[in-house]
Chain A
Amino acid sequence: MMERDIVVIGSGPAGLCAAIEAAEAGAKVLLVDENAKPGGQLFKQIHKFFGSREHSAGVRGIDIGTLLLKKAEDLNIEVWLNTEACGIFDQDKVWVVRDKSKSMTIHAKRIILATGANENVVNFPGWTLPGVMGAGAAQTMINIHRVLPGKKILMIGSGNVGVIVSYQLLQAGAEVKAVVEAAPQLGGYGVHTAKVRRAGVPFYTGHTVLEARGTDHVESAVIVQLDASWKPIAGTEFELDVDTICIAAGLTPAVELAFGAGCRSVNSPVLGGLVPWHDQRMCTSIPSIYIAGDVSGVEEASTAMEEGRMAGLSAADSLGYLEESRYKARFEAINHNLLALRSGMFGQKRRDAKEAIMAASKG
């Protein structure tokens, strides 16, 4: 059986950083991804990132992706694309299918799961009509494939994904008719909502979509106001002339491989639901399996990159690749960067949720 020190599953921001950190420590790393191109969501992120210089703040996600790929190439990291990881057996064997045809099992001394997250769905009458899609799907269409999903958009959800994708749809030439938010307050960063608002887009808090109308595609959407218990208020319905409805209702960690392998789960509503239990080193309840990025709790690409570095460092260290002093220095630096991103009015909640996961019983 083929053997590698570390197999990283998923080549988004977390997986790429994990592979780079581990390879820099000297580990023999194999990075696998089911997609035809590496980078995960990074190449859709055409906006400048927040954070400090250590977090590549001010650099566009797409450029961070290019830099990370170059680094992975310079380190001669082995990358298998079009490779689906289908299961983990005996805690250290990864079953993959390459190019949808070749099934094989790799013995991995350590496994790092950086599988990301999936978009949540909101269903309502008409939600299966062509033109209703995840905000992430719309972002893929405009920023990867350079195709407008439609001309008149309704965005459901005002978290950072909803407002950033609204802005990018405007940049791509679409008209965003409204951003609708069921909660009484907008979710995303004020600087994001402000740039969408000054482009003339109305925000409707305490509103939701009631139905999508149309025969073979979306022709309009009906919006309704919600009362304090989130029930539609009769008589407040109004129709919006849209051809596309984007849903940005949060993400759910892609935990199938972790739970299939037997990793203990913890429920973290703030971070997207059930996630694998993990410690500060990003090690799960199974000592040979590490996690990083959205699979460990939905946050942002910047935190995913730092968590990836932490997982790569820890996995390489557990194999004896690092001098203790070097490990400690890197651990402190990465942890410092993570804490900086998990502070302030938006970050503190995520920090508390992360600490609750780590404080939960390992089982």
Chain B
Amino acid sequence: MDNHNETEGRLKTTGAASLAELHATKEYILPDEHMKHPVAVIECIEAIPCNPCETACPVHAITVGSEITNLPVIDIETCTGCGLCVAACPGLAIYLKQKEYAKGLSFIAFPFEYVPLPEAGQVIDMVDRHGRVVCKGTVIKVATIKKFNRTAIIHATYPVEQYEQVVNMQRLARD
């Protein structure tokens, strides 16, 4: 059986949402090249009772509402890209992205809860939703402030061609 086919893959069979499934929801908003700074992208497409993204947002750019099973809706015009929601999301389902961060390079800031952590300047393997390595990336910063509650946020750049595919990095080998 082909468990790795992106086009046939579905959240409830492969474990990861396909792009078709994401595009079918109005909550998944991938910012285009007009956005001049990173903003939050939310991949939360099941109605589960959860709203820390909404309460974490200092500028009220994310709305869940009084029914906490509502899907979070982000206003990317209001989002400042501070990243507090990235660490607050218990599902690790939020990252920041900017399509044209530098010439030919996109930006991502994703949650990471494995050791060892990468270091600034390190070249890492960027992975898609199925854990496949799709390109190299370069770490800009590893944010581990107390407010993130032991979830590190890794800032990295990677080729713009893989803008939508990349969601995280491959775990680093332990010593």
Contact indicator A57/B52 (Cβ below 8 Å): yes
Is the CB of A269 closer than 8 A to any CB of chain B?
A: no
* Secondary structure dominating the interface of B: loop
- B47 proximity list for chain A (CB < 8 A): 343-346
Q: Which of A190, A200, A204 contacts B131 (CB 8 A)?
A: A200
Contact indicator B131/A198 (Cβ below 8 Å): yes
Contact indicator B48/A170 (Cβ below 8 Å): no
Contact indicator A190/B11 (Cβ below 8 Å): yes
- B92 proximity list for chain A (CB < 8 A): 191, 195
Is the CB of A301 closer than 8 A to any CB of chain B?
A: no
Q: Mark A282-314, 1 if CB is under 8 A from B, else 0.
A: 000000000000000000000000000000000
Contact indicator A194/B15 (Cβ below 8 Å): yes
Contact indicator B130/A198 (Cβ below 8 Å): yes
Contact indicator B48/A189 (Cβ below 8 Å): yes
CB-CB nearest in chain B for A49: B90
Of residues 150 to 171 in B, which have CB atoms within 8 Å of A's CB atoms? 150-151, 167-168, 170-171
Q: How far is the CA of A266 from the CA of B16 in the complex (A)?
A: 37
Q: How far is the CA of A184 from the CA of B14 in the complex (A)?
A: 11
Q: Mark A38-54, 1 if CB is under 8 A from B, else 0.
A: 00000000011111110
Q: How far is the CA of A59 from the CA of B47 in the complex (A)?
A: 20
Is the CB of A58 closer than 8 A to any CB of chain B?
A: yes
Contact indicator A51/B50 (Cβ below 8 Å): yes
Contact indicator A171/B90 (Cβ below 8 Å): no
Is the CB of A106 closer than 8 A to any CB of chain B?
A: no
Q: Mark A166-191, 1 if CB is under 8 A from B, else 0.
A: 00001101000001000011100111
Is the CB of A7 closer than 8 A to any CB of chain B?
A: no
Smallest Cβ distance from A64 to chain B, in angstroms? 12
Contact indicator A190/B49 (Cβ below 8 Å): no
Q: How far is the CA of A201 from the CA of B14 in the complex (A)?
A: 10
Q: How far is the CA of A200 from the CA of B26 in the complex (A)?
A: 27
Q: How far is the CA of A200 from the CA of B48 in the complex (A)?
A: 24
* Secondary structure dominating the interface of A: mixed
Is the CB of B24 closer than 8 A to any CB of chain A?
A: no
Is the CB of A340 closer than 8 A to any CB of chain B?
A: yes
Q: How far is the CA of A51 from the CA of B49 in the complex (A)?
A: 5
Contact indicator B127/A190 (Cβ below 8 Å): no
- B56 proximity list for chain A (CB < 8 A): 58
Contact indicator B91/A192 (Cβ below 8 Å): yes
Smallest Cβ distance from B49 to chain A, in angstroms? 5
Given known contacts A193-B11, A203-B3, A225-B1, A198 and B128 CB-to-CB distance under 8 angstroms: yes
Smallest Cβ distance from A55 to chain B, in angstroms? 8
Contact indicator A60/B149 (Cβ below 8 Å): yes
Number of interface residues of A (CB under 8 A): 44
Smallest Cβ distance from B48 to chain A, in angstroms? 6
- A217 proximity list for chain B (CB < 8 A): none
- A47 proximity list for chain B (CB < 8 A): 90
Contact indicator A201/B90 (Cβ below 8 Å): no
Smallest Cβ distance from B7 to chain A, in angstroms? 16
Given known contacts A50-B49, A345-B48, A194 and B113 CB-to-CB distance under 8 angstroms: no
- B12 proximity list for chain A (CB < 8 A): 185-186, 190, 205
Q: How far is the CA of A179 from the CA of B171 in the complex (A)?
A: 19
Q: How far is the CA of A58 from the CA of B88 in the complex (A)?
A: 6
Q: How far is the CA of A52 from the CA of B56 in the complex (A)?
A: 11
Contact indicator A194/B52 (Cβ below 8 Å): no
The stretch of B38-46, B75-83, B101-109, B135-143 in contact with A is B38-46
Is the CB of A202 closer than 8 A to any CB of chain B?
A: yes
Contact indicator A194/B49 (Cβ below 8 Å): no
Contact indicator A191/B171 (Cβ below 8 Å): no
Of residues 44 to 103 in B, which have CB atoms within 8 Å of A's CB atoms? 44-52, 55-56, 67-69, 88-93
Given known contacts A51-B50, A198-B129, A344-B69, A205 and B91 CB-to-CB distance under 8 angstroms: no
Is the CB of B34 closer than 8 A to any CB of chain A?
A: no
Is the CB of A341 closer than 8 A to any CB of chain B?
A: yes
Smallest Cβ distance from A67 to chain B, in angstroms? 13
- B131 proximity list for chain A (CB < 8 A): 197-201
Q: How far is the CA of A199 from the CA of B114 in the complex (A)?
A: 10
CB-CB nearest in chain B for A199: B131
Contact indicator B15/A197 (Cβ below 8 Å): yes
Seed contacts A47-B90, A52-B52; 18 additional CB < 8 Å A-B pairs: A50-B50, A50-B91, A58-B52, A171-B114, A184-B13, A190-B11, A193-B16, A197-B14, A197-B16, A199-B171, A200-B130, A201-B131, A203-B13, A204-B1, A344-B46, A345-B48, A345-B69, A346-B46
